[in-house]
Amino acid sequence: MKRALAHICAGALLATGATVAWAQPADLPIPPATTTQLPSGISINRALPVPVYTDAKGRTLYGLDMRTVLRWAPDAAFYCAADCLKLWQPVLAPKGMVPDIGFPDAPGHDAKAMIDNRKAPDWTVIRGPMGPQWVYKGWHMVFIRKGERPGSTAFEGAEGLTWNTLKYLPPPPQVVAPPGVSAVYADGGYLLADAAGRPLFTGSCKDPCTGWTPLAAALASQGIGKWKVQASGDEPQWTFAGQPVFVGATGRSLPPGATALRP
């Protein structure tokens, strides 16, 4: 419903001749990286609160999500042209690389190459306005902002969120845990959370133990890996490596004496 209303509003603005800057939808975030392998010349700036990809000169890479500009460009890969290229510089693939993704009717489309396995599987190549250009995660055309100094992210969300820093989220770890427990990325690393996204923790507290809510286990639960069921309390509780596990509140810091449970 929300997206439908956004489409209607965009159509109304276009009908009146107004300028529209289509924002990257909140439900289209960049997923975590698949591997730690990177193309030549691309690295990660881990010094920032949220790590971002950079070029060989340390300049922040920005992603243009092609899904957000399809309505204004028959071939979204050529959305940034003319005046746009005066501000944004495509990050070109090395010489000799051919496009391996593209729209079926787009120049340079290669259906066979689309399914080729790459050494850096998150990175593919499309025919862009200045030649074969890197694309991240299949949709995010990669650019740098001309004149921006290395380490800067000043153009994050530019033009109504059309341009967004190309953030690096490390590959999620494989987790052996009870149903509903998974690894979530927060504060620069992965931690374990329940099905509602609340962080899990262990530790000890002194009365009163405010905020120490046991991670309840179902009556028929069985242990898995380092996870066991402790049934000595009012209700069964999960333990990890012999320590009782508790569940925190979403968006709140853990209580004193608590240690976040990490994969």
Query: Which region among 8-22, 66-80, 132-146, 178-192 has the lowest average model confidence (pLDDT)?
Result: 8-22
Q: Quote the pLDDT of residue 142.
A: 97
Q: Quote the pLDDT of residue 114.
A: 38
Q: 29: Cβ–Cβ under 8 A, 6 or more apart, which residues?
A: none
Tens-place pLDDT, residues 191-221: 999 999 899 999 988 777 888 999 999 887 8
What integer is the mean pLDDT of 11-36?
Answer: 53
Tens-place pLDDT, residues 44-63: 999 998 899 999 999 999 99
State the SS3 of 25-79. CCCCCCCCCCCCCCCCCCEEECCCCCCEEECCCCCECEEEEHHHCHHHCCCHHHC
Whether the bond between 208 and the residue before it is cis, its omega within 30 degrees of 0, is: yes
Q: What is the DSSP letter of 157?
A: T
The DSSP line for 78-105 is GSS-TTHHHHEEE-BPPTT-------TT
Calculate what percentage of the chain has a pLDDT beyond 90.
52
Longest CA span, the chain? 70
Q: How far is CA 108 from CA 97, 112, 114, in A?
A: 12, 12, 11
Of the pLDDT bands very low, low, confident and very high (cuts 50, 70, 90), residue 240 is very high
Q: What's the pTM?
A: 0.71
Instruction: Quote the CA–CA distance of 148 and 7 in Å, as a whole number.
Output: 33
Q: Does pLDDT of 4 surpass 50?
A: no
Tens-place pLDDT, residues 62-76: 999 998 888 787 888
Instruction: Quote the CA–CA distance of 237 and 219 in Å, as a whole number.
Output: 9
Q: Quote the pLDDT of residue 68.
A: 86
Q: Quote the pLDDT of residue 192.
A: 94
Q: Does pLDDT of 13 surpass 70?
A: no
Residue 252, phi then psi, degrees to nearest 5: -120, 155
What integer is the mean pLDDT of 109-130?
Answer: 67
Q: What is the DSSP letter of 212?
A: -
Q: Does pLDDT of 29 surpass 60?
A: yes
